[in-house]
Structure 1
Amino acid sequence: MAVGADAGVGTGAEVPALAGVPLLGSLLDLKADSLGTYLRAQHRHGDVVRVSAGPPGLRADLYCVFSAEGAQQVLASEAANFRKDNHFYEEVRKSFGNGLLTAQDEDYLRQRRLVQPLFTRRRVDGYAGAVAAETSAVVASWADAPGGVVDVSGQMMHLALRAVARILFGTDVETTAGVVARCFPVITDYVLARGYSPANIPRTWPTPGNRRAAAAMEELYGACDQIIERRRRDGTEAAGEDLLTLLAAARSSDDREFDADELRDQVLIFLLAGHETTATSLCFALHLLARHPEQQDLARAEISRVLGDRTPEAADLDRLPFLGRVVKEAMRLYPAAPVIGRKSVAATRIGGYAVPAGADVILAPWVTHRHPAYWPDPDRFDPGRFTPEAEAGRPRYAWFPFGGGPRACIGQHFSMLESVLALAIILRAHAFEAVDTEIPVSAGITLRTEGPARCRIRPLL
């Protein structure tokens, strides 16, 4: 039984509820602006709020937890009591496979044991060259930008996809990047539509939406399966040291390996989590620096002082602390995973409130990262919030863009490495001025921009 999940938890206070409309509760508000709805819930009712959504008979009660202490309880101290059993994760699992993001129990533990050695700092640092090469190629392409304006949202998505595909697939990057760019939007939109709907028709019914998603999944799965089969057939010496080859060769202590389907599931999850999340961080780091030229100048001065004219390498991550703080502040204001869902196994108390067994529990980094108890003037962009002294003065889970606890993101170091090195190359080559000063966003599987994030660029080299 989880810590706190004892017979007395029912004595906790009743969770305050966000007012909705008759019949549908807050369903329309969540569909129109879920992030704004969660912010409003915290502002009105505090750190534990119940949000009801859907018609009678299909209504869902979401127990929203907004405090750092509550996030730590759900993700770490009582992690065993909060599982990825909710409806949304099931839709992700059915489309992107049962990889590290969605697996549970022994499946998850076995996968983590197999994958963990491939994400040590030393191993990840070896990918710095691929990040630098792909970033330099993107920067070079901006010489032809119409009117000197680039959409950093689309450009960073392209960069992050190219980088993770190159690291995963090595020489097969050209084929796979195109397939992923074509198929992922179709599949993610399908997952979102089903994941946020209180009821869905079977996936097997031949509706236009089902057929589009099935075709995209077939193409994506087929491309991955062909490469996996070729890796297994040709062996590691022919393929080199890309991540897929290492995954195919991974063995656990009981001498088990991934079968072909499990290997594809890991690849799909790495593609999903490894490019959309970093792309979001890079996009908003550039957008925020474009709106704050004084901070951009400080970042560029550090880059010039540390790098001069040389290509950045992994060791430079620790030599560029201000740029690291810029990335962290961008992740605070625009966390790539703005909402995290769990389902409680047993009744418990969070912040003094009773949370029943089987409850859908929502954590919202989007809200916690703006909580005035931890972040004075929370909407202001200020990289100084992430000096070592400032970080030491806040609760551990006031900032958790990578989740936390036993299921913390395995790719944290890679994300920071890629973001800092890519920004160093980009900012050394160009100055940025924001064209779009406000970027509407929404919560998808990851944070999504609703429209362009255009910047006017000025070459510096």
Structure 2
Amino acid sequence: MAITETPVPGPAGLPLLGSMLDLRSDSLATYLRAHRAYGDVVRLTAGPPGLRVQLYGVFSAEGAQHVLATESANFRKDNTFYQEIRESFGNGLLTSQDDDYLRQRRLVQPLFTRRRVDGYAGAVTAEVAAMTRKWRTAPGDTVDVVDEMTRLTLRAVARVLFGVDVDEAVGVVERCFPVIGAYVMRRGYSPLNVPREWPTPGNRRAAAATDELYAVCDRIVEERRARGADATGEDLLTLLAQAGSDEDGSLDASEIRDQVLVFLLAGHETTATSLAFALHLLARHPEQQERARAEAARVLAGRTPSAADLEALPYLTMVLKETMRLYPAGPVIGRRAVDATVIDGHAIPAGANVIVAPWVTHRHPRYWDDPERFDPERFTPAREQERPRYAWFPFGGGPRACIGRHFSMLESVLALAMIVQEYEVTAVDRTVPVSAGITLRATGPARCALRPR
């Protein structure tokens, strides 16, 4: 392919460190500023001389499609950030590549069919019901919706994964995930890291958390594998232990643990972000909240929803989609280019670190009028058809799109329907600061006052 020699523009940054400090202090704001100032393809330089990194930001819908779908084979998960996730959380679907990924996807895909996922609705609604009952005694009739949704989605995904072994697994994940996540982020954004084996305080804390997390997963996995063909459970762990084919064989104990860890990581933090910010946005927009409540009341009439109700709740689905536009749980997606290519008329060299950013593309004025405004009506079927496919991509895209998309939407819509049926919510904290970790995370409280209906 002939490369168009169009220089990629970008900020010069500081003489010695480039844009490193801006990226460390607020990477999401840095990408937005770069897009506004330099356009749809931007080059950022970060790090001191000798350790400097060139980062290419691709912010148009067409560019995102190029990276994630059209030339997906040319953009691999070979960057430092994914390597750190791989070393901490294992080589599951999120991080594996090539033949490993294809084999894992073939083995795991049957566990995520629509029919199978719909069968998990009862586990989700049981956890939501327990949470809303507990809210009746919330101190001051106020809860932090980020904390509450994180706990809810962790319990829900743990119930789906482990069945009866929920409480022990939840306690370990709550203790260990924050320690490991912070460690991964710190190493992922550092230009130079000491080996993990060195006995530094940070390495030792992360190793202890990882050992505890692996131990509980390995114990539960071993119990399920020991049951073998006699296992009759419908939880994902039992199904993973039974998964196999003549072509791909089966998953061994360490492979099952890697998938479990990825499902725990991706299956609760992402959905928690969507649910928490959906509630907070509705708490700040009473008209939209009342419309969502009216839909839930009309469809459910006070009963507990099931998977069969999902299609009958289009406005609540639109609320979730608009929330994921404004607060995509995966705000930045990184890749490394294998070969040189051209994106939006700009040359991307071989070996380049490339990011696509739902956080930026979801605010692109070419696709979104008044992009900071909360407007679920953007997601009527007619208006969705008017936009490019990758103007909205909170679940990624192409062959590496999130396998759990239907589960996340099912859990989110059913949970939101149950909550707005039972409570009116009002925002105590009008704004909630966020930052980009492994997933999008709130860095301040998101308190809402509750009024039982």
2:42 is the counterpart of 1:49: yes
* 1:19 to partner: Cα distance: 2.6
Q: Secondary structure at the match of 1:455?
A: strand
Question: Does structure 2 conserve the Cα–Cα contact (< 8 Å) formed by 1:52 and 1:59?
Answer: yes
**Hey, what's the Cα distance between the residues in 2 that align with 1:158 and 1:394?**
35
Q: Secondary structure at the match of 2:244?
A: coil
Structure 2 equivalent of residue 167 of structure 1: 160
Structure 2 equivalent of residue 87 of structure 1: 80
**Hey, what's the Cα distance between the residues in 2 that align with 1:255 and 1:451?**
46
TM-score by length of 1: 0.97
**Hey, what's the Cα distance between the residues in 1 that align with 2:364 and 2:248?**
47
**Hey, what's the Cα distance between the residues in 1 that align with 2:146 and 2:245?**
39
* 1:20 to partner: Cα distance: 0.4
**Hey, what's the Cα distance between the residues in 2 that align with 1:233 and 1:107?**
25
TM-score by length of 2: 0.99
**Alignment map for 1:288-367 (pairs within 5 Å):** 288-367=281-360
**Hey, what's the Cα distance between the residues in 2 that align with 1:408 and 1:440?**
27
Structure 1 equivalent of residue 243 of structure 2: 250
Structure 2 equivalent of residue 453 of structure 1: 446
State which of 372, 375, 378 in structure 2 corresponds to 1:379. Answer: 372
Amino acid at match of 1:15: V
**Hey, what's the Cα distance between the residues in 2 that align with 1:44 and 1:290?**
33
**Hey, what's the Cα distance between the residues in 2 that align with 1:418 and 1:69?**
30
Question: Does structure 2 conserve the Cα–Cα contact (< 8 Å) formed by 1:110 and 1:252?
Answer: no
**Hey, what's the Cα distance between the residues in 1 that align with 2:286 and 2:25?**
33
* 1:12 to partner: Cα distance: 3.2
Structure 2 equivalent of residue 274 of structure 1: 267
Structure 1 equivalent of residue 189 of structure 2: 196
Question: Does structure 1 conserve the Cα–Cα contact (< 8 Å) formed by 2:123 and 2:160?
Answer: yes
Residues 112-159 of structure 1: CA distance to partner in whole angstroms, max 9, x if unpaired?
A: 000000000000000000000000111111111111110000000000
**Alignment map for 1:65-144 (pairs within 5 Å):** 65-144=58-137
Residues 205-226 of structure 1: CA distance to partner in whole angstroms, max 9, x if unpaired?
A: 1111100100000000000000
User: Which stretches in structure 1 are left out of the alignment for 5+ residues?
Assistant: 1-5
* 1:309 to partner: Cα distance: 1.8
Q: Secondary structure at the match of 1:377?
A: coil
Question: Does structure 2 conserve the Cα–Cα contact (< 8 Å) formed by 1:66 and 1:364?
Answer: yes
Residues 65-107 of structure 1: CA distance to partner in whole angstroms, max 9, x if unpaired?
A: 0000000000000000000000000000000000000000000
**Hey, what's the Cα distance between the residues in 2 that align with 1:255 and 1:162?**
31
Structure 1 equivalent of residue 416 of structure 2: 423
* 1:235 to partner: Cα distance: 3.0
2:43 is the counterpart of 1:13: no
* 1:236 to partner: Cα distance: 5.4
Taking only aligned residues, the RMSD between alpha carbons, in angstroms, comes to: 0.8
* 1:240 to partner: Cα distance: 1.1
**Hey, what's the Cα distance between the residues in 2 that align with 1:236 and 1:157?**
34
* 1:18 to partner: Cα distance: 1.6
Residues 294-352 of structure 1: CA distance to partner in whole angstroms, max 9, x if unpaired?
A: 00000000000000021100011110000000000000000000000000000000000
User: Which stretches in structure 2 are left out of the alignment for 5+ residues?
Assistant: none
* 1:238 to partner: Cα distance: 4.3
Question: Does structure 2 conserve the Cα–Cα contact (< 8 Å) formed by 1:287 and 1:434?
Answer: yes
Structure 1 equivalent of residue 150 of structure 2: 157
Amino acid at match of 1:401: P
Question: Does structure 2 conserve the Cα–Cα contact (< 8 Å) formed by 1:101 and 1:269?
Answer: yes
